[in-house]
Homo-oligomer: A and B are copies of this chain.
Amino acid sequence: MAEVQTQVDFVSGRTRLFGIVGDPIEQVRSPEMATFELQRRGLDALLLPLHVRQADFDRAMPEILKIHNLDGLIFTIPYKARALALAQEIGPQARAVGALNALARRPDGRWAAEIFDGIGCVEAFRRRGYGLAGQRVMLIGLGGAGSAICAAVASEKPRTMRLFDLDGARAEHMAAQARAMSPATEVSVGPPTVEHIDILFNASPVGMLDDPRRPIELDRLPPELIVFDAIVKPERTPLLALAEACGCRTVRGREMMNGQMAKIVDFFVRTTSPAAA
């Protein structure tokens, strides 16, 4: 018989598995992005969508972790805080934020956790060549992504950090976390401003999808300001549109997402490697 191609080349019995766990799961972008990144590094590995429902999570997850060729997981909504119970080692960012988004199996079988939303944001700045050390930053929004950005930016040791969230207690809590991470940084809580600010971060949902609003009530921004928006859709948010019109440099949510994906895959590779034992 003539040999016809009856198989694919991206999965075999030796393929190592990674996954993203969420509920719902259809909208996630990690499978195509992280799988590309894993395979670009020469790994025989896939990252799969794993739809685990909320009623099943606590009993099912510890058993799913027993799949012996499963090496790591990303956690998304609504599991970023709940997944901490699965980790035996919790990284400094995850500890500050009280949530994780990546879990990787060490060679000794222990599961290590870290959160990379903020690290991805810092990576996006690094790729642009925009340093954070010594800068004066304003951060609007301290929800899931915002608190992670707060912790990661604090780790870069800016000169000052001003934090704002509609939930004042939340803002004070993250201010304390930021001070603990970078004692030399002057951290304050207060309404959005660009006075004495070098870099403005938006991590609030204001401007998402069809929302025409900006998270800061100004019609002009100083052209030397760098403006970041964590929102992915639309890519050019009302805030970023104003910033561009004013001649500011900008960093987009998609750049943070790309930076995060690279850093998560770094974490997977580093943690699972025998050298990490």
Contacts and interface: CB of A to CB of B under 8 A. Distances in A.
Interface string A115-139: 0000000000000000000000000
Interface size classification for chain A: 35 or more
B25 A69 contact: yes
A33 B7 contact: yes
A13 B49 contact: yes
A213 to B, nearest CB: 26
A24 to B, nearest CB: 8
Contacts of A53: 66, 68
Contacts of A29: 7, 12-13
Copies of this protein chain in the complex: 2
A36 B8 contact: yes
10 closest Cβ pairs, A-B complex: A63-B63, A7-B32, A51-B68, A13-B28, A51-B69, A60-B63, A11-B31, A56-B66, A60-B66, A13-B49
23 contacts: A5-B36, A6-B258, A7-B33, A8-B36, A8-B39, A11-B32, A11-B46, A11-B47, A11-B49, A12-B29, A12-B32, A13-B25, A13-B49, A46-B46, A51-B69, A53-B68, A56-B63, A60-B63, A60-B64, A60-B66, A63-B63, A64-B64, A64-B67
